Structure 1
Amino acid sequence: MKKDLLMWDETLFRDVEVFEIDYMPEQFDFRDSQIRELAINVKPGLAGARPLNTICKGLPGTGKTTTVKMLFSDIEEKTKKIIPVYINCQIDNTKFAIFSQIYKKLTKRPPPASGTSFKNLFDQVCKILSDKDAVLLVCLDDANYLLYEKEISNVLYTLLRSHEANEGVRIGVITIISDMTVDLMQEVDNRVASVFRPSEIYFAPYSQSEISEILNQRVMQGLYPGVLSSDIFELIVEQTMKSGDLRVGIDLLKRSALNAEKDARKEIVKDDVCRAYLISKYLHLSSSVKTLSDEEKGLLKAIAQMSQKEKEMNAGSVFDELKDSLKIGYTRYSEILKKFDSMRLINLNYKEGKGRTRLITLRYDPSRIIDILG
């Protein structure tokens, strides 16, 4: 065996956690203006008033979630006047689920497993806030998922109108939107729009130089010296720019190093990156599929299977073929298609002819969709 091959107990990683998608970096660059603007909107809460409501909007992988989490961490370290609660709306996308998470943050325990009405849960949350004399700051991350489930107006109305029925309750809301086609103020009810009145903070895509700097910081923290040459690093930056998502680059670094380890090498080579990219480029697809219900997964898989045989998929014809096996009505079917389109899993395009026909095209390789769905 060559002396430079990795032994079974050796690793290329100084700290593998650095390459986790939810890792909070010690150094967070290129979002200073967004952090300042968000802090200004939150500041009234320190004086006991409601924070200004905010929409953080930008493509996936532009630092929105990290910005909010860093601000929330700072709030928790420095004051008890504001209680920040982070909600992942991909997971918790109903009014009851969201208030259950708020209750859990306030009490350090989950609400009773059964027999608790929403009104009871809501009243308990308001009483706790009143007793603590604290301002609640709720972040609804990926709030566009509430829109897909038609819950956005109900959730915002309950949060923002709570003070009308519960004196002394003060709640501010930060919504994070990754779907650039969504205009939240156009989607909510008038009753919500009148009290929401958010300011919008835009998160522009990172430039190539910014992506290079961010990934280089991860490399220095997470890999041992000599593992990644400058040429291979530039290839990873190039592939990250191609995907348009910083998270793909972070995942690519991790998988490339794992590939090198698997082959018992102490240095990442081009083949490691190329093999890793075949998986990393589907990061959005993998994370999106995890959030779907069994019913939605069944429909997506059926569409992917059909697309392997059909050159053109008409939405009406697809429904006729699948309605018996999937046991869903056309209204629900149409709602799911719109959700898939908003989630960038499919494209829905209208074709003029006899009436307006909707054509379904997948944004990803159908065999890869089927493989991820299992």
Structure 2
Amino acid sequence: MADDDMLSWDESVFRDEHVLELDYLPDTFLHRDDQMETLKYALRPAVRGSRPLNVMARGPPGTGKTTAVQKLFDKLRGVSDVDVVRVNCQVDSTRYAVFSRLFEGLFEYEPPASGISFKKLFGQITDRLVEEDEVLVVALDDVNYLFYEGEASDTLYSLLRAHEAHSGAKIGVVVVSSDLGLDVIEELDTRVQSVFRPEDVYFSAYGEREIVDILSERVERGFRDGVVSPQVLDRVAAYTADSGGDLRVGIDLLRRAGLSAEMRGSTDVAVEDVESAYEKAKYVHLSRHLRGLSESEAALVRVLADHDGEQAGDVYEAFSEATDLGYTRYSEIVNKLEQLGLIETEYADVGGRGRSRALSLSYDADAVVDRLDGEAG
């Protein structure tokens, strides 16, 4: 490699590396005009001081649902008498935790860590809305986690019935789900179904040409000129399409490939950088899910790493020995991990003893444990 193809120690292939981070909110939001128009239609009444329409935004992971909500919320923050709060339900997965986050969003400080009942917390939120004549728009991002914890119906019921509990309280709800196997309406209690009639906004997986368009803009803003060739971009787009059109895979892959090029001291990203980075980038979903696990849920994942493919009863014995937890909690965790796509279950006949489930990790066991250790560290 010639010297002019080598980076000096203080140079970078990046123009703005933050553009290639997963929490970056792009100025231009391509290929989502129809979805944005429906969201604007539903939320526009809030600008006029009325309760907005409720919305259900759903679609595969990495298809722009959260970005759409954040961009609209940024605009609504500039409207007087409208409050917006986005709740990450992977982190706040109980009704109390959701309302604590709403309290913090309205009052700009956290409620007391203990000693305040849900009824009082709820009352302080609705009092504020009525006294200030404000409209609150709530986004329950990754609402599927509320369902996994059995908290979805109670949470939505409290939000949707707030105006009955406190006349004049105006709250609109946007639920966001990436779990295509979850029928949000069907899984809610009938008391919630009767009042939850949301506008349905579907975010389909991006096609490969759409992926190229979107990633091209990230490349233009994030990398220096000429660093990423069309061939490299096409390879990243192909991997992204293979992942179900999840843009987060492609964005993460671009950044890792850039870091790989820098590690080599190169002034441009090569296809080989993409190939080596893909082994790490393809685990972006795994890392995201592992971050949201409780201690007991992570413990079962560790047990499965040592007992991959074994019968559910044998796995339970090892899990119980490690945690002292009972079978009911074990079964709940198994169901949640399966819904998250972290584990797979397969029923098989066990000679003369009927049918039994075998449990397997959906990812390489070493990769799972490495990332669990990284989260713990």
Match of 1:98 in 2: 98
Residues 1:348 and 2:349 are matched in the alignment: no
**1: CA distance, partners of 2:6 / 2:318:** 55
In the TM superposition, what whole-angstrom CA distance separates every residue of 1:116-174 from its partner, at most 9, and x where no partner exists?
22222111111111111011110000000001111101111111111112110011111
Q: Kindly, what percent of the aligned residue pairs are identical? A: 44
Match of 2:298 in 1: 297
Match of 2:140 in 1: 140
* Structure 1 range deviating more: 79-88 or 214-223: 79-88
SS at match of 1:83: strand
Tell whether the 8 Å contact from 1:58 to 1:179 is kept in structure 2 after alignment. yes
* Structure 1 range deviating more: 94-103 or 145-154: 94-103
Match of 1:18 in 2: 19
**How do 1:255-274 and structure 2 match up within 5 A?**
255-274=256-275
Match of 1:332 in 2: 329
Tell whether the 8 Å contact from 1:17 to 1:222 is kept in structure 2 after alignment. yes
**How do 1:233-244 and structure 2 match up within 5 A?**
233-244=233-244
Deviation for aligned residue 1:101: 1.2
Match of 2:194 in 1: 194
**2: CA distance, partners of 1:3 / 1:48:** 61
Match of 1:217 in 2: 217
Tell whether the 8 Å contact from 1:144 to 1:177 is kept in structure 2 after alignment. yes
Unaligned 5+ residue runs, structure 2?
none
Residues 1:125 and 2:122 are matched in the alignment: no
Residues 1:360 and 2:359 are matched in the alignment: yes
What amino acid is the match of 2:75?
D
Deviation for aligned residue 1:4: 3.1
**2: CA distance, partners of 1:67 / 1:325:** 43
Tell whether the 8 Å contact from 2:129 to 2:169 is kept in structure 1 after alignment. yes
SS at match of 1:26: coil
Tell whether the 8 Å contact from 1:348 to 1:361 is kept in structure 2 after alignment. yes
In the TM superposition, what whole-angstrom CA distance separates every residue of 1:328-350 from its partner, at most 9, and x where no partner exists?
11111111111111111111233
**1: CA distance, partners of 2:231 / 2:48:** 52
SS at match of 2:344: strand
Residues 1:62 and 2:59 are matched in the alignment: no
SS at match of 2:338: helix
What amino acid is the match of 2:14?
F
Tell whether the 8 Å contact from 2:304 to 2:360 is kept in structure 1 after alignment. no
Unaligned 5+ residue runs, structure 1?
none
SS at match of 1:61: coil
Deviation for aligned residue 1:320: 2.5
Tell whether the 8 Å contact from 1:56 to 1:200 is kept in structure 2 after alignment. yes
In the TM superposition, what whole-angstrom CA distance separates every residue of 1:251-286 from its partner, at most 9, and x where no partner exists?
000010011111211011122111211110000000
* Structure 1 range deviating more: 114-123 or 353-362: 353-362
Match of 2:205 in 1: 205
Tell whether the 8 Å contact from 2:57 to 2:202 is kept in structure 1 after alignment. yes
SS at match of 2:26: coil
What amino acid is the match of 1:46?
V
Match of 1:76 in 2: 77
Deviation for aligned residue 1:352: 4.9
Residues 1:249 and 2:246 are matched in the alignment: no
Deviation for aligned residue 1:95: 1.4
Tell whether the 8 Å contact from 2:231 to 2:271 is kept in structure 1 after alignment. no
**1: CA distance, partners of 2:236 / 2:321:** 46
**2: CA distance, partners of 1:158 / 1:273:** 47
**1: CA distance, partners of 2:288 / 2:358:** 25
**2: CA distance, partners of 1:325 / 1:85:** 39
What amino acid is the match of 2:169?
V
**1: CA distance, partners of 2:349 / 2:36:** 46
**1: CA distance, partners of 2:47 / 2:196:** 20
**2: CA distance, partners of 1:127 / 1:65:** 29
SS at match of 1:105: helix
Tell whether the 8 Å contact from 1:12 to 1:261 is kept in structure 2 after alignment. yes
**1: CA distance, partners of 2:52 / 2:34:** 18
* Structure 1 range deviating more: 18-27 or 93-102: 93-102
Q: Which runs of 4+ in 1 moved over 3 A?
A: 352-356
Tell whether the 8 Å contact from 2:253 to 2:277 is kept in structure 1 after alignment. yes
Deviation for aligned residue 1:287: 0.7
What amino acid is the match of 1:265?
S
**How do 1:31-46 and structure 2 match up within 5 A?**
31-46=32-47
Deviation for aligned residue 1:249: 0.3
Deviation for aligned residue 1:107: 1.2
**1: CA distance, partners of 2:101 / 2:267:** 44
SS at match of 1:173: strand
In the TM superposition, what whole-angstrom CA distance separates every residue of 1:48-82 from its partner, at most 9, and x where no partner exists?
332111111101000000011111111112x2232
**1: CA distance, partners of 2:251 / 2:94:** 31
How many residues are matched?
Answer: 369
**1: CA distance, partners of 2:185 / 2:357:** 27
Tell whether the 8 Å contact from 1:305 to 1:370 is kept in structure 2 after alignment. no
**2: CA distance, partners of 1:40 / 1:270:** 43
TM-score by length of 2: 0.95
